[in-house]
A and B are shown apart, each in its own frame.
Chain A
Amino acid sequence: MKIKLLGVLFLTLSAAAAGAYDRSVLAEYNDLYKNGNYQAALDGYMEIAAKESYNPYAFYNAGNAYFRMNKPGLAILYYGKAFRLDPRDPDIRTNLEFAMKHTGQTFVPEGMPKALHYLYYFFSDRELKAVATVFWWLACLLLSIYALKETLREKLRGVILGAGLILAGAFLWSSARSSSLFSDAAVITESSTQLLSGPGETFKTYATLPEARLVKVLDDTDDVYYEIGIPREGIKGWVKKTSAEKI
């Protein structure tokens, strides 16, 4: 059993290692960034991000390039993507917070202790889902053994209870996160984006949204418009999909 587990771990590690791209390629792009050639560096970072959708650093670097190119909306978009993949990374958190502050937004909601905010975002959405999946399988497996092996029931009770609690915790945490700022979020990427009262040009314009504003996507089924909500102001409306990008 132990050998099998080690085998699985080895395969996982190998898969992770295989995902890493050549360091010299990144160094080349970072040199471009260092020398102020942000567009060329960005093209490189986007190439890496396209190949490795799990790699938060490619998104982070792309966010940096956009920030340097004075495109705060796209910078926040890519910092947000990086943050959703690795919310514990201090560089990603710092730059996202910096960019949000730069655009008049707050990363840590007012009144919320920083430590609690950190804990709330300690695991990424994927990690929470993975934990729930693993413990779902584990709980089912343990229950099966519990049903079949009467002699092991005493020993298994505590383990099954623990697995069940973790599973429930992961579900609850995921549910709580669904209302977070970065869940189903989008960033306004164009300045003075019009917020309409319906999905079409014929509807009235409620308001104009500044570039880099984080909004909540309520419905994305329309071909041209997102239905979005702005929790802080308590309003919702429609914006063109070309004016906002989902994180």
Chain B
Amino acid sequence: MNISIPNNFFRIIRRPAVFIALCLCAFVPQSLHASFSISAETDKQSVEINDSLYLTITVSGDSSSVPEPALPQMNNFNIYSSGRIQNISIINGKIATSVAFTYILTPRFIGKQKIPPISVSNGGEKHVTPEIEVSVVKAAAPAQASQPQNAPRAQAARQPSARAQAARQPEETLFMTAETDKKTAYPNEQVNLTIRFYTAVPLTSNPQYVPPTFKNLISEDLPPVKNGETVIKGVRYTYSEIKTALFGIEEGQASINPASVFAQIHQGGAVDPFDPNFFQQFFAMNSGQGETRQVTSNSAALKILPLPEGAPAAFNGAVGNFTFSTEPDRREIKTGEALNLSLTITGKGNLKTLIAPKLPDMPDFKVYDTVSSLNISKDNDVIGGKKIFTTVLIPKTEGRRTIPRITFAFLDPATKTYKELSAGPFELTVEKGDGEGQNVSFAHGGQAAPITPISSDIRYVSDRTAAPLTGTAAGRISAMPLWLNLFPVGALLLSLWLARINDFRLKNPLLFRFRKAHGEARADLAGAADRLKNGRPKETASILYDSLLAYLYDKSGHKVSGLTMRRTLALLKEKFPDAGEDALNGIKDLWGKLEALHFSPGGATQEEARDMLETYTALLSLLEKEFKKRG
């Protein structure tokens, strides 16, 4: 593991264009730009059928993270993840990462077996390893066996009861168990699951193992497979044991679904599995005669407990037992230069999910991206290792500057207490730098790698539930019956008609007065009748007087209140030459009487007012007829 950032690499991001460019880089998926390579090798070219081999796949790239390889389907091997070792280095502004993924492969068949090409892809670039051929040979005699677990097998083979087991029915002679070493655990606390496959009969090949699925748990293989022998209820079994480390995700119930094994049982004569030459006898048989049996384990449940109360502020979910150290790579530096601050967490626990301790505020420094490297070990079936978080800091100003104390907190499940580990503070001497500072970017330095289309397909189904608002509104509007659109036409025609009337009225005021005169006089008569009915004759007479003058004004087009009666009658005669004398005399008579009553000090009596009302009513009807004779 080597992390170093040479000082001549960095330049301060001071110009907006540079800053924007870096921001844009941040939005571009790194994997699209980064280039990488892959290699695969096994630790041996030849392996015994009861042994296993290590397959190491190394992915190297020029970004802080490289894609994981996708292992192809391999029916001739059982595969278990054994761990990973990551190296990361930052030299001249470019990150180089190398991750070695280790797998343990246990062969299932004798002969030349092939490990197919292994591919790794970042979505655009794809690399493939060449095929690897491995020779799987018969197991050596127990005396020469390299595997220590073969020893008890040889010893047990001498026991007379073994032969009897071979004759048992398959249902009784094959079974699986699954059990955990704990029934409760905190989130991220390791729980070991042990799955054992027992057989009391010989198998025609090594069985194929289908691991269980989990709910609310994440898993990590704990190879290698252990083999052994045991006696259960008087029956001798050989067993294979597979361990898996489990980590609870969140508080609540977690479950382990059954695992399966597909095993081929020989249908011919019995072969003693405890015979020292068991494998030779066994593989001498024709494997095509085997009968495939599926055996499943029991399911199991776990309770994931809530975290204890009183978690310190620095706690961010780490559970296990760790040590913590922090160290800047230099203590003397110039402004604009960069230093690497490495936070190293070592110990037992799920380091994969471990997130970087929160750095305190450091106003004197520019704080850049954090990269992490991870080495996982699985010694003694305990997941652990080392994780290093490296952050780049650039001091802004000269003087004595301090990186404050950094605290890492975790829950120790053994003591059920939180523990806090701190490092620092670190004193730095910062001198004034020269000119431009340094530029920090973990983006790939070169030109963007071209995207190579491999295939095309339709896009995935949509998870949008609601139709777009515009579409819905448009749908509702366009669904309106067509005849509804005639309404605005009707409104428009009505408006045009009203506008025309209004215009005509404005242009011909006298004509409208002439036309309205009768209606208004009738309304006055109704008002006068009301007042008469209420015993107010004087008001009745006044209304009738005013109404008559208004009527004559409307009909003649002249304001008669300012004219004499004679002049008015002359104007009416002039305007309505065909009007009869009776009508004009009636006007003269009524006008005179109403004027007398209107201006007399005593006012009109009830009888006089009624008489005037009746006279006016009759005269109005007569005048309407006479005035229509005109023209």
- Which A positions have Cβ atoms within 8 angstroms of B? 12-13, 15-17, 19-23, 26-27, 30, 33, 41, 52-57, 60-61, 64-65, 67, 85-86, 89, 91, 94-95, 98-99, 124, 126-127, 129-131, 133-134, 136-137, 139-141, 143-145, 147-148
- Which B positions have Cβ atoms within 8 angstroms of A? 456-478, 480, 485, 488-489, 491-492, 494-496, 498-499, 502
6 closest cross-chain pairs (CB), A and B: A140-B488, A20-B466, A144-B495, A130-B474, A130-B477, A129-B478
B466 lies within 8 A of A137 (CB):
no
B458 lies within 8 A of A54 (CB):
no
Least CB separation from A17: chain B residue: B466
Residue numbers in A under 8 Å from B465 (CB-CB): 20-23, 26, 57
A15 lies within 8 A of B476 (CB):
yes
Residue numbers in A under 8 Å from B492 (CB-CB): 140, 143-144, 147
Residue numbers in A under 8 Å from B471 (CB-CB): 54, 56, 85-86, 124, 126-127
B491 lies within 8 A of A19 (CB):
no
Least CB separation from A41: chain B residue: B461
Residue numbers in B under 8 Å from A145 (CB-CB): 495
A26 lies within 8 A of B470 (CB):
no
B468 lies within 8 A of A15 (CB):
no
Most buried by B among A16, A19, A137: A16
Least CB separation from B469: chain A residue: A16
Residue numbers in A under 8 Å from B467 (CB-CB): 16, 19-20, 52, 54-57, 85-86
B461 lies within 8 A of A61 (CB):
yes
A148 lies within 8 A of B495 (CB):
yes
A12 lies within 8 A of B473 (CB):
yes
Quick one: which of B458, B468, B477 contacts A56, CB cutoff 8 A? B468
Given contacts A16-B472, A144-B491, contact A60 B478 (CB under 8 A): no
Task: Taking A19-B467, A89-B468 as given, write out 19 further A-B residue pairs in contact, using a Cβ cutoff of 8 Å, ordered by the A residue number.
Answer: A12-B469, A12-B472, A15-B472, A19-B466, A20-B465, A20-B466, A27-B463, A52-B467, A54-B471, A54-B472, A54-B475, A64-B459, A86-B468, A91-B462, A94-B459, A99-B458, A130-B477, A136-B485, A140-B491
Residue numbers in B under 8 Å from A17 (CB-CB): 466
Residue numbers in A under 8 Å from B469 (CB-CB): 12-13, 16
A64 lies within 8 A of B458 (CB):
yes
CB pairs A–B below 8 angstroms (9 shown): A16-B473, A54-B472, A55-B466, A89-B468, A95-B458, A129-B474, A130-B477, A144-B495, A148-B502
Residue numbers in A under 8 Å from B468 (CB-CB): 56, 86, 89
B491 lies within 8 A of A130 (CB):
no
Residue numbers in B under 8 Å from A15 (CB-CB): 472, 476
A98 lies within 8 A of B458 (CB):
yes
Quick one: which of A55, A126, A143 contacts B478, CB cutoff 8 A? A126
CA distance A165 to B488 in the complex (A): 18
Residue numbers in A under 8 Å from B466 (CB-CB): 16-17, 19-20, 55
Quick one: which of A26, A41, A130 contacts B463, CB cutoff 8 A? A26
CA distance A98 to B473 in the complex (A): 29
Least CB distance, A208 to chain B, in whole angstroms = 27
Least CB separation from B482: chain A residue: A133
Residue numbers in A under 8 Å from B489 (CB-CB): 140
Least CB distance, B232 to chain A, in whole angstroms = 39
CA distance A176 to B334 in the complex (A): 70
Residue numbers in B under 8 Å from A23 (CB-CB): 463, 465
CA distance A39 to B472 in the complex (A): 28
A64 lies within 8 A of B461 (CB):
yes
Residue numbers in A under 8 Å from B477 (CB-CB): 129-130, 133-134
Given contacts A16-B466, A61-B461, A148-B498, contact A127 B474 (CB under 8 A): yes
Residue numbers in A under 8 Å from B496 (CB-CB): 147
Residue numbers in A under 8 Å from B502 (CB-CB): 148
B478 lies within 8 A of A130 (CB):
yes
CA distance A20 to B489 in the complex (A): 36
Residue numbers in A under 8 Å from B475 (CB-CB): 53-54, 85, 126, 130
Residue numbers in B under 8 Å from A56 (CB-CB): 467-468, 471
Least CB separation from A75: chain B residue: B458
CA distance A214 to B465 in the complex (A): 28
Quick one: which of B459, B460, B470, B499 contacts A147, CB cutoff 8 A? B499
CA distance A67 to B457 in the complex (A): 10
CA distance A239 to B495 in the complex (A): 53
Least CB distance, A138 to chain B, in whole angstroms = 9
Residue numbers in B under 8 Å from A26 (CB-CB): 463, 465
Least CB separation from B488: chain A residue: A140
Least CB separation from A127: chain B residue: B474
CA distance A140 to B485 in the complex (A): 10
Residue numbers in B under 8 Å from A129 (CB-CB): 474, 477-478
A126 lies within 8 A of B458 (CB):
no
CA distance A55 to B475 in the complex (A): 10
CA distance A54 to B475 in the complex (A): 7
Least CB distance, B494 to chain A, in whole angstroms = 8
Least CB separation from B480: chain A residue: A133
Least CB separation from A146: chain B residue: B495
Least CB distance, B124 to chain A, in whole angstroms = 19
Least CB distance, B474 to chain A, in whole angstroms = 4
Residue numbers in B under 8 Å from A55 (CB-CB): 466-467
Least CB distance, A93 to chain B, in whole angstroms = 10
Least CB separation from A144: chain B residue: B495
Least CB distance, A104 to chain B, in whole angstroms = 15
Most buried by A among B472, B495, B498: B472
Residue numbers in B under 8 Å from A61 (CB-CB): 461-462
Least CB distance, A14 to chain B, in whole angstroms = 11
CA distance A19 to B466 in the complex (A): 7
Least CB distance, A153 to chain B, in whole angstroms = 11
A67 lies within 8 A of B458 (CB):
yes
Least CB distance, A147 to chain B, in whole angstroms = 4
Residue numbers in A under 8 Å from B478 (CB-CB): 126, 129-130, 133
CA distance A89 to B488 in the complex (A): 34
CA distance A175 to B362 in the complex (A): 66
Residue numbers in B under 8 Å from A143 (CB-CB): 492, 495
CA distance A139 to B459 in the complex (A): 43
Least CB distance, B476 to chain A, in whole angstroms = 7
Residue numbers in B under 8 Å from A130 (CB-CB): 473-475, 477-478
Least CB separation from B500: chain A residue: A147
CA distance A60 to B458 in the complex (A): 11
B461 lies within 8 A of A30 (CB):
yes
CA distance A89 to B502 in the complex (A): 53
Least CB separation from A136: chain B residue: B485
Least CB distance, A76 to chain B, in whole angstroms = 11
CA distance A20 to B469 in the complex (A): 11
Least CB separation from B475: chain A residue: A54
A141 lies within 8 A of B456 (CB):
no
Residue numbers in B under 8 Å from A147 (CB-CB): 492, 495-496, 498-499
Least CB distance, A7 to chain B, in whole angstroms = 15
CA distance A13 to B467 in the complex (A): 11
CA distance A131 to B478 in the complex (A): 9
CA distance A143 to B187 in the complex (A): 72
Residue numbers in B under 8 Å from A126 (CB-CB): 471, 474-475, 478
Least CB distance, A96 to chain B, in whole angstroms = 9
Residue numbers in B under 8 Å from A140 (CB-CB): 488-489, 491-492
